[in-house]
Structure 1
Amino acid sequence: MVQLFAALGGAAKRALFRQYVYGRLRPGIAAEVILKETRDIGISIRRTDALSIIREVTGREISRSRLRFVPDIRIPSIEQFTPTRLRLEKRFQTIFEVRGTNVLTGAPQSRRVSFISDERVSLGDMKRQLLERAQSEYSLREGVDYRNIVAVEGLIREEPPYT
Structure 2
Amino acid sequence: MILRSELKPNINLAEKLFPQLLELITLYDDDNIEEIISNINTISGKMIEAEYLLEYWGSESIEEFVFKLALPVPIKVENITYEELLQIISYVQCPDKDFVLQTLVDYNLDISYLLAEGFYLPLLHKNFSHPGISDLFYNYQIDGEFIELTPHEIAEEILNYNPILL
Normalised to the residue count of structure 1, the TM-score between the two structures is 0.29
Answer 1 or 2: higher relative contact order, Cα 8 Å, separation at least 6.
1
Please state which structure has a larger fraction of its residues in strand. Answer: 1
Please state which structure has a larger fraction of its residues in helix. Answer: 2
Specify the structure having the higher radius of gyration (Cα): 1
Normalised to the residue count of structure 2, the TM-score between the two structures is 0.29
